[in-house]
Chain A
Amino acid sequence: MNAAFLVEDLYYTYPASKTQALKGITFDVREGEVFGLLGPSGAGKSTTQKIMFKLLEDYTGSIRYFGRDLKTLGTSYFEEIGVGFEVPVHFTKLTALENMRFFIQFYKKTADVQELMERVGLWEYRDMKVGEFSKGMKVRLNFVRAMLNDPRVLFLDEVTNGLDPKNAMIIKEMIAEFRDRGGTVFLTTHLMNDVEQLCGRIAFCVEGKIHEIATPRELKLRYGKREVKVEYREDGATAQAVFPLADIGTNEDFQSILRTKQIETIHSGETSLEEIFIIMTGVDLK
């Protein structure tokens, strides 16, 4: 797989700040994958994104976009990327459709606005002023805005934050379809559910540094509790027992419970990504 982005030794300090926001970040984002950058507030996620879509420029280190130095790319770069900001970024006194028509006219390659808005359930509200939209509707419109130019790379910041489960699922389906068509997604979030459902690989970012880059499965295998928890009926009540996953097939106590008791539930003990994040970094994601 080609590297959509190759980020090496990235440092950034905000002009008014004495401390570095990014302290030597290195990672790659492969073409056609959903890459998740996870971390608590102030970890450097948004700064990394802003550098990658050229809002911040005075960084040190190197960023290559499909082999080309990001610093050498002009406005044509924005023909290829779509950016979904965390906060709504619309003209509130204009209607949803007026907003989308305003932005889409600047792109050479465009997506079907109606199709996108129908998909996220906003087409029937197209003539409503964005100022009258709920937070969830604005978040969905943000996503449509990011997809207007049928981008090659999509940057998404907390893309489902503020959405109800049904609409969050629709957005996640659209992201998965985008990836399946060969699109690359760079996702920053603190919502582990999104990460587990979407990301091929994830990077844990804390205090401007990346602690680990791996697939969610690799992390779970590496840091997860390797155990099996069984709940069963005993003396009219629910009892439970936990067994190590290793040698579970020859564990006599486990086998005995299976043979003699009425089993209510049986689960492998999986550690959540959030727990793994805390184990690895000592920092809570919130």
Chain B
Amino acid sequence: MRSCWMLFRGELRRLVSYKILPVSLATTCLWIVLVLLVHKADALTIAPLLIFIDTTVMLILLIGAFNHLEKQEETIKTMLVLPISIKDILISKVTASMVLGFISVAVMSLALGIIHGITFNYAAMLGFVFLIGAAHAGIGFFLALHSKDFGSMLGLLFSYMFLFTVPSVLFTFGVIGKEFEWPLMLLPSHSSSTLISTAVSGSYDAAKVIVACIYLALLAAVLLRFAVFPKFKDDAVRR
């Protein structure tokens, strides 16, 4: 536990030093400018989409960037000969990257409250962002570990977005009909979008919320345990 904490602090420090956290905050600031320019009703409509982007696509992108920077520096190798387990290293990395999501949601929530007086169920949002962050951290590490460099990581991310995120966005804008909502819940993006919309609007479909929570938790656990964990050490050693 002590190792995890020390690793986590190290990760956070590097997220700042390597400008990952500032870039994440800069993106959130762009969203705040957007929120400033629209009316309260529109802000309420676009807020879930902006939070969704920050906690899913942006998270994957930032994890990919950070991971490839570390690959270039080969620092994972030297961490693997420390008296700590790989599990601790991975937990600290996943947790630290989830912090990016928490910070951007906190900043966005604050801005929505100050600018338009929009408040919502923060406790529910916190729990949902935890699940969304964990699942997308798993996806981010999976894509990063399966790409040679940041360029190929971006290629994989665009493919991922095309397959998993675009359908959910099309549903949000009514291009895809309501009858497809349940099948769409199989997409991590749509499950995440459902949870964020629920937290912001306050109206919810219990069945969908439960399914989305269980699905994202399972996805995070399966991805991190069976796809990321075994590949993590191999990837570092191969270099």
Q: Which residues of A contact B (CB under 8 A)?
A: 15, 50, 53-56, 75-79, 81, 83, 85, 87-94, 102-103, 105-108, 145
Contact = CB atoms under 8 A, between A and B. Distances in A.
Interface string B1-23: 00100100010011001100000
B84 A75 contact: yes
A106 B6 contact: yes
Given A105-B6, A106-B83, A106-B84, A85 B74 contact: yes
A143 to B, nearest CB: 12
A193 B10 CA distance: 39
Nearest to A81: B81
Interface centre among B18, B82, B236, B237 (most CB of A within 10 A): B82
A102 B8 CA distance: 11
B80 A75 contact: no
Contacts of B73: 88-92
B42 interface: no
Contacts of B3: 106
Contacts of A76: 83
Contact of A55 (B13, B18, B80, B84): B80
Contact of A107 (B13, B17, B83, B237): B83
Nearest to B76: A89
Contacts of A87: 74
Given A50-B237, A106-B3, A93 B81 contact: no
Given A89-B73, A103-B78, A94 B17 contact: yes
Interface centre among B3, B14, B75, B77 (most CB of A within 10 A): B75
24 contacts: A53-B81, A55-B80, A75-B83, A78-B81, A83-B78, A85-B74, A85-B77, A85-B78, A87-B74, A88-B73, A89-B74, A89-B75, A90-B73, A92-B73, A93-B17, A93-B18, A94-B13, A94-B14, A102-B10, A103-B78, A103-B82, A106-B6, A107-B82, A108-B83
Contact of A56 (B74, B85, B237): B237
Nearest to B3: A106
Contacts, number: 63
Nearest to A95: B17
Nearest to A107: B83
Given A78-B81, A89-B77, A91-B73, A15 B234 contact: yes
A90 B69 CA distance: 11
A90 B81 contact: no
Contacts of A94: 13-14, 17
Given A15-B234, A55-B237, A106-B6, A90 B75 contact: yes
B74 A79 contact: no
Contacts of B83: 75-79, 106-108
B225 to A, nearest CB: 18
Given A85-B74, A88-B73, A106-B3, 17 more contacts: A50-B237, A55-B77, A55-B80, A55-B233, A75-B85, A81-B81, A89-B75, A90-B73, A93-B17, A94-B13, A94-B17, A103-B78, A105-B6, A106-B6, A106-B82, A107-B82, A108-B83
Contacts of B14: 91, 93-94
Contacts of B75: 89-91
Contacts of A83: 78, 81
Contacts of B80: 55
B17 A91 contact: yes
Contacts of A93: 14, 17-18
Contacts of A88: 73-74
A92 B19 CA distance: 13
Contacts of A85: 74, 77-78
Contacts of A50: 237
Contacts of B18: 93
Contacts of B13: 94
A102 B77 CA distance: 15
Contacts of B6: 105-106
Nearest to A82: B81
B200 to A, nearest CB: 36
Interface centre among A91, A105, A107 (most CB of B within 10 A): A91
Nearest to A104: B82
A107 B78 CA distance: 13
Minimum-distance CB pairs A-B, first 6:
A89-B78, A78-B83, A93-B17, A83-B81, A75-B83, A106-B82
B10 to A, nearest CB: 5
A15 B231 CA distance: 12
Contacts of A56: 237
Contacts of A145: 78
